[in-house]
Chains A and B, each alone.
Chain A
Amino acid sequence: MNEDNLSILALVVNASVLVQAVMGILFIASVMSWIMIVQRGIFLSQAQNNFRAFEDTFWSGVDLAEYYQELTQKAKDIGTSDGIENVFRAGFREFNRLSQSDKVDPDAVMEGTDRAMRVALSREDEKLGVNLPFLANVASVSPYIGLLGTVWGIMDTVRGLGMMQQATLAAVAPGISEALIPTAMGLFAAIPAVIAYNRYAAKVEGINTSYETFSDEFSSILHRQVYSR
C-alpha cells in the first residue's frame, strides 16, 4: 500500500485493529439490515396485496363454505399460508365445529370463534413483526459503535502526536480521517435502518388494524347467522 495514498481503502487497511473490528461489525450490521429491509419490504407488500385480494373475493358474495374449502386446498398445496386467510380459516373452522352440535349455546359458539380468530390474529401479528427488532437495534446501536471506533482512533492519533517532535496538521490529518470512517459507517448503517423500521412498523400497524377490522366484520356475519337460525 502506497504511503502517500489517502484513499478510503488505504485508510481502512492501515487502521488499527480495534477500528478495523468496529468497521467490520458495522459493515456486517449494514449488510444484515439491508437484507432485512428488502425481505420485510417484500413480505409486507405481499401481505397487503393478499389482504386486498382476499377482501375483494370475500365481499363479492361468494359462498363462504366453498371459499373456505378452496383456501384450505390452496394451503395444503403450498404447504404454508399467511395473512388474513389464516384468520378466516381459523374462525370458520371453529364456528363450523361448534355449530355442528345442536345443544350449544349461540353465545358459546361466538365466544369460541372469536377466541380462535384472536389466536390466529396474534400469530399473524408475530409473523409481520419478525426482524423488525433487529432493524431497531441496528438503527439505535450502530452510531454508538461507530463513535467508539472514532474515539479510539483519535486517541491513538493524539497519542502518536505526543511522540512527534513537530506537530503539523499533516501528521494528524490521516489519523483523524481514518478515525472518522467508523462514524460514517455507523451512520450509513443506521439511517436506512431507522427509516425502514419506522416505515415498516407503521405498515405492520396498518395491516394489523385491517386484519382486526376484518375479523370483527366476519364475526358480526357469523353472529347474524347464529342468531337468525
Chain B
Amino acid sequence: MGWLLSLLSSSMNKSLSYGIGVIGSLCVHALVLSVLMIPSSQDTKSIIIQPQYINAKLVQLAPKKKIVSKPKKIKSNSAIKKREKQRRLELAKAKQKKADELKRAQADLEREEERLDKLKRERLERERLAELQREQVAAEFAQALADEQVLINVQEGEEEANSYRQLIQQRLSENWSRPPSARRGMETLIRLQLVPTGRVVGVTVLKSSGDSAFDRSVEQAAFKAAPFVELQQMSPSLFEKKFREVDVSFSPQDLRL
C-alpha cells in the first residue's frame, strides 16, 4: 500500500493529495456499507426466536363447552315443570275424590238420570284428563331424569377429559421446536390418532399453515411428545368417546414476525 502510494505520489501537490483522500475515503465507506447491506437483506429471513412461549390449544374445547352449558338450562326448566305437574296432579286427585263423593251423594239424593249422566260424563272426562296429565308428567319426569344423568356423565367426563387435554397440550408445547420460518398468525391443525396405551399411531394434517417446515415441526412435536402414558388411567369409554382422535391446532402467538 505504501509502495503504491509512493508510486502515485512521486510528484503531487497538496490539494491533489486531499482530493485522492476524499475519493479514497468515500470508496472505503461505500464498500463497507454495501458489504453490510447485502448479507443483512438475506439475514432477515433467518432470525431465530427460540420457542419459549408456545400456544398449542386443543380446538375441541370450545364446542364441547357449549354442549355442557345447554343441558344445564334444560335441567333447571324441567325440574320446575316437574314439580308443578306433581302438585297439579295431587290437586286433581283430591278434586276427583271430592267429586266422586259429591256425585254419590247427589245420586242417592236426587237420582236424576240427566244429572247422573252429566256427572258421569264429567267424571269420565276428568279422569281422562287426569290420566293424560299423569302420563305427560311421568314422561317429562323420566325425560328430566335421563337428561340429568346424561348431564352428570357429561360433566364428569368433560372435567376428566379437560385435564387430559391440558396434559396433552402441555406435552406438545414442551416438545415443539418451531422452525425459523415460523411467523405469527400461522396455524396448523393436526389430528392425533391415539391408542389406549397412550401411543400416537398417526398424525394427519387437517389444515396446513402453508409452510411445510412448520407443518413438519408440528408433526415431529406430536411424535416426540408421545407416548402419553397417563391416558392409560382413563376409563375406556371416555377414551373411545374423546381421545381416539384428538384435534390440535398449533399457532405461535408470541413471535414478533
Contact = CB atoms under 8 A, between A and B. Distances in A.
A213 interface: no
Interface of A: 4-9, 27, 30-32, 34-39, 41-43, 45-46, 48-49, 78, 80, 166, 168-171, 173-174, 188
Given A42-B21, A168-B256, 15 more contacts: A5-B44, A27-B29, A31-B26, A34-B24, A34-B25, A35-B18, A35-B22, A35-B25, A37-B21, A38-B17, A39-B18, A42-B20, A48-B6, A169-B52, A170-B254
B41 interface: yes
A166 B255 CA distance: 12
Contacts of A34: 21, 24-25, 28-29
B212 interface: no
Given A35-B22, A42-B21, A46-B6, A8 B29 contact: no
Contacts of B153: none
B24 to A, nearest CB: 4
A46 B9 contact: yes
A48 B32 CA distance: 31
Nearest to A184: B36
Size band of the interface chain B makes with A = 35 or more
Nearest to A30: B29
A46 B20 CA distance: 14
A80 B44 contact: no
The binding surface of chain A is classed by DSSP as: helix
27 contacts: A4-B44, A5-B44, A7-B37, A7-B40, A34-B21, A34-B25, A35-B22, A37-B25, A38-B20, A38-B24, A38-B25, A39-B20, A41-B2, A42-B5, A42-B8, A42-B9, A45-B5, A46-B17, A48-B6, A49-B6, A80-B13, A80-B14, A168-B254, A168-B256, A170-B49, A171-B256, A173-B49
A31 B29 contact: yes
Given A8-B36, A34-B28, A49 B10 contact: yes
Nearest to A27: B29
